[in-house]
Amino acid sequence: MALHGGESSIADDILTQLLLTRGVAPSDVARHANPTLREFLPDPSQFNDMETAAERITQAVMGQEAITVYGDYDVDGATSAALLVELLRDLGATADYYIPDRLLEGYGPSGEALVRLGRQGSSLIITVDCGAMAHDALKQAHDAGVDVIVVDHHKCSPDLPLAAAMVNPNRLDENDIAAAHGHLAAVGVAFLLAIAIVRVMRGRGFFKDRKEPNLMGLLDLVALGTVADVAALHGLNRAFVSQGLKIMARRERIGMAALIDASRLKRAPQCSDLGFALGPRINAGGRVGESTLGVRLLTSTDPDEARSISEQLSSLNEDRRTIEAAVQEQAEDQVAGQGNRAVVVVSGAGWHPGVIGIVAGRIKEKTGRPSIVIAVDDETGVGKGSGRSISGVDLGAAIIAAREQGLLEAGGGHAMAAGLTIHRDQLAAFADFLDQRLSKDIAKARENQSMLLDISVAPGGLTPELVETLDKAGPYGVGWPGPRIALGPVRIIKADIVGQDHLRIIAAGDDGRSIKGIAFRAAETEMAQTLLHRSAGRKFHLAGRAKIDDWGNRPQAEIHLEDAAFAD
């Protein structure tokens, strides 16, 4: 199925079918085929406290107050902080950032840090990607006379913390339009705030004699934070990422260009690169290094500094891989002895808190169950945990409920990811609580799991042109799954293990064409073992994602295998 020339209508039909199967109404196909901000951007004033926040920040800028942006130490926090710091500095404000140390300070704003920043001169602090549940910390800041604006996307409790403004689409009192954007990452919410700020300042005549900030130039940050935070890529998020990738390709941000080079990308970044190449490097600073490195890189205007920070982040990312592998091995040993628990809860003394989120994600993928990994301090008995969930199971709400039951010292998050603080004496009770609360939801979610296929082709139909057509319905991610193809029937001509437990195959079809395929980290799976032995030459149907192999002189299409079935 070579898609070119007179067959362009076939490509259009495939694109339309992909959009329809992802829930797009027939009348709305054109808008989703080319997701732009013009088509998807809501009026920021629809969000509670957005105008209040924009007015207070405008007051601070025009009154020359010192402003500090208090971010989280992950990619969403770094990109959110970088976005607002860049905007504020472009507006002429005195703006700095503060990123807490993961090990020494933990997640979220601390009252001590907020008060200290106020004493150092910041009369306004903007928290990004944190603060929604920081009741005690924000009260301390309020009592000290420090205004705090919260820009977050994590779940909220009915009683909001004491803040000058709380901008969060997941507030329980939001209207329908704002609540429909609860899937935004914090950096997406920060971008909406940036629009609101510029609009208020425009109304005050601030730009009468000066140029307005280039808000579109901030979309590379929005794209990176959105993908790296595994936010659902539908609606506005698709527009953010689609347009942000175009900005990123221009290499105008010095720090982003250095990060791309450090990731050894020889082409413009694609959506998957944000999650698997760029994001992990930014995260490495907060996980196992210095928490401010990400924001420093993304706000840098010095090419030499940006290059140095990017190299440092790449080195830290390698360190992170080593630490992660050790923790994962120990965690998987525990999983093997947990029997039929609905939620995987594992813990260990001395585990590095900087990698537990990644390990939780790996275990979730292997077990198909929500997973929580907890690093316990052996001296205090206090553990820091990170959890990852499966589609259809709201882990963040369960963590908040466990905290309200007194099982946790702190905790919060969103449906697919959550964080917590717990004493080891409560671990067993906490695991029981999660099982009782979530077992029915998990059983229902797993019953509904199936591999949905978008198109079936013979080997000769797996072409670069087909991959290009499928990519047009992207960007793909959580909530907007990438298309899967069925390929076959084929015979396995060659199968072997390469790299770190990756299965590589060459298969031939009845149409006389052959294709290459690879299954990552799959060497020990039943699928890999079956294909390795080729089952006495029997034919197979293969399922997976169509990708471009661009290592050679001529790009070729291949399949990234996810499943296989006998064809006879």
How high is the pLDDT of residue 517?
A: 96
Residue 140's φ and ψ, nearest 5 degrees, are -60, -40
Q: What are phi and psi of 179, to 5 degrees?
A: -65, -30
Q: Which two tokens stand for residue 297?
A: 């890189």
Domain boundaries, the chain: 42-313, 337-447, 451-566
CATH class of 337-447: alpha beta
Own/partner pairs, 148-152, CB within 8 angstroms, 24+ separation: 148/109, 148/114, 148/124, 149/53, 149/56, 149/57, 149/124, 149/125, 150/126, 151/53, 151/80, 151/84, 151/126, 151/127, 151/186, 151/189, 151/190, 151/193, 152/127, 152/128, 152/186, 152/189
Pick the CATH number of 451-566 from 3.90.550.10, 3.40.50.920, 3.30.70.890, 2.40.50.140: 2.40.50.140
Torsion of CA 17, 19, 21, 23, to 10 degrees: -150
The pLDDT of residue 552 is 66
- What tens-digit pLDDT sequence spans the chain (568 residues)? 444 444 567 788 999 999 999 999 999 999 999 999 999 999 999 999 999 999 999 999 999 999 999 999 999 999 999 999 999 999 999 999 999 988 788 788 999 999 999 999 999 999 999 999 999 999 999 999 999 999 999 999 899 999 999 999 999 999 999 999 999 999 999 999 999 999 999 999 999 999 999 999 999 999 999 999 989 999 999 999 999 999 999 999 999 999 999 999 989 999 999 999 999 999 999 888 899 999 999 999 999 999 999 999 999 999 999 999 999 999 999 998 877 789 999 999 999 999 999 999 999 988 889 999 999 999 999 999 999 999 889 999 999 999 999 999 999 888 888 999 999 999 999 999 999 999 999 999 887 767 789 999 999 999 999 999 999 899 998 889 899 999 999 999 999 999 888 999 999 999 999 999 999 988 888 899 999 987 667 899 999 999 998 776 788 999 999 999 998 7
d(CA 468, CA 481): 16
Paired strand residues for 503: 497, 519
CB of 167 closer than 8 Å to CB of 84: no
Residue 446 makes CB contacts below 8 A (sequence gap 6+) with 368, 369, 390
In the three-class reduction of DSSP (H, G, I as helix; E, B as strand; rest coil), residue 70 is classed as strand
The Cα–Cα gap between 321 and 355 comes to 9
* Residue appearing with tokens 């293969």: 542
Contacts of 80 by beta carbon, 8 Å cutoff, 6+ apart: 69, 71, 72, 128, 129, 151, 185, 186, 187, 189, 190, 225
pTM of the full predicted structure?
0.87
Pairing relationship of beta strands 147-151 and 344-349 according to DSSP bridges: unpaired
CATH topology of domain 42-313: inorganic pyrophosphatase (n-terminal core) (3.90.1640)
- DSSP state, residue 24: -
- Strand-pairing partners, residue 505, are 495, 517
Output the CA–CA distances (angstroms, integers) from residue 174 to 47, 361, 492, 497, in the order listed: 7, 30, 55, 52
Contacts of 249-252 with CB under 8 Å at 24 or more apart are 252/217
